[in-house]
């Protein structure tokens, strides 16, 4: 069943390939209000129900310089949420992926930049929210605090996030104490 789930998720994520080409046309206000409202309702439902979901936890290897941890949240056998905590020398961040009916519907990424390497003192926070409808990116909202210095060079690339969603889904579904599926393939 795990392979079937991962294949279905992979197909849904591959369908999101259209999101890469449409990304240039997507803005913080694009997408129908009804579709955005529905995604927000699904997100809220997942957040409410998450404490009752079956949860898996795995260490992430080589997805970031200083390591990370992944939590998979399942309603029965259905993957509903992936939450990755990642650490680098000059930042820490979370990548959360939300699913409905086997399809990616929302990605929320928060990166906090440090004042100097390994200090842990956060001086800026960058948030990116990606909304998907039918496998297509329909809205991208980016915020930065404080707003002054342009930190857009540190924004995640959508193809990397989609790749991570696929890899993290495989990792979350894997068994054993140190599954190879939880190690980044290209490091």
Q: List, for residues 93-106, the tens digit of each pLDDT value.
A: 999 999 999 999 99
In three-state secondary structure terms, 3 is helix
How many domains are contained in the chain? 1
Radius of gyration of the chain (CA): 16
Asked if residue 168 is part of any domain, the answer here is: yes
* Confidence at residue 19, expressed as pLDDT on a 0 to 100 scale: 40
- Its pTM stands at 0.85
For position 48, what pLDDT does the model report?
97
- In the predicted structure, residue 6 carries a pLDDT above the cut 80: no
pLDDT digits (tens, 9 = 90+) for 17-31: 444 444 558 888 888
* 3-17, 50-64, 90-104, 137-151: least confident range: 3-17
Contact 132, 104 (CB under 8 A): yes
Q: Is residue 179 part of a domain?
A: no
Give residue 4's Cα distance to chain centre: 21
Supply the range of the domain harboring residue 7: 2-174
**Residue at 183 is within a domain:** no
User: What integer pLDDT is reported at residue 25 of this predicted model?
Assistant: 83
| pLDDT, tens only, 162-177 | 999 999 999 999 987 7
Per-residue model confidence (pLDDT) at position 176 = 78
| 181 within some domain | no
Q: Looking at the domain assignment, is residue 114 inside a domain?
A: yes
Q: What is the mean pLDDT of residues 110-136?
A: 92
* CA angle centred on 100, ends 26 and 86, rounded to 5°: 70
Q: Predicted confidence band at 136 (pLDDT cuts at 50, 70, 90)? A: very high
Residue 184 lies in a domain: no
Whether 134 is in a domain gets the answer yes
Residue 185 within any structural domain of the chain:
no
């Amino acid at each position: 069943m795990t392979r079937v789930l991962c294949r279905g998720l992979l197909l849904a994520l591959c369908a999101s390939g259209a999101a890469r080409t449409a990304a240039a046309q997507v803005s913080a206000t694009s997408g129908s209000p009804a579709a955005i409202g529905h995604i927000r309702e699904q997100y809220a439902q997942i957040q409410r129900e998450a404490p009752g979901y079956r949860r898996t936890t795995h260490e992430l290897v080589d997805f970031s310089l200083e390591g990370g941890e992944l939590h998979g949240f399942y309603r029965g056998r259905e993957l509903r949420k992936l939450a990755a905590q990642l650490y680098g020398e000059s930042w820490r961040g979370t990548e959360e992926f939300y699913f409905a009916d086997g399809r990616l519907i929302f990605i929320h990424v928060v990166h906090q930049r440090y004042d100097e390497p390994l200090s842990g003192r956060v001086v800026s926070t960058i948030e990116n929210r990606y909304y998907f409808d039918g496998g297509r990116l329909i809205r991208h909202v980016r915020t930065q605090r404080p707003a002054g210095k342009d930190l857009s060079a540190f924004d995640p690339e959508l193809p990397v996030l989609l790749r991570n969603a696929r890899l993290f889904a495989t990792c979350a579904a894997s068994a054993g104490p140190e599954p190879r599926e939880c190690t980044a393939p290209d490091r």
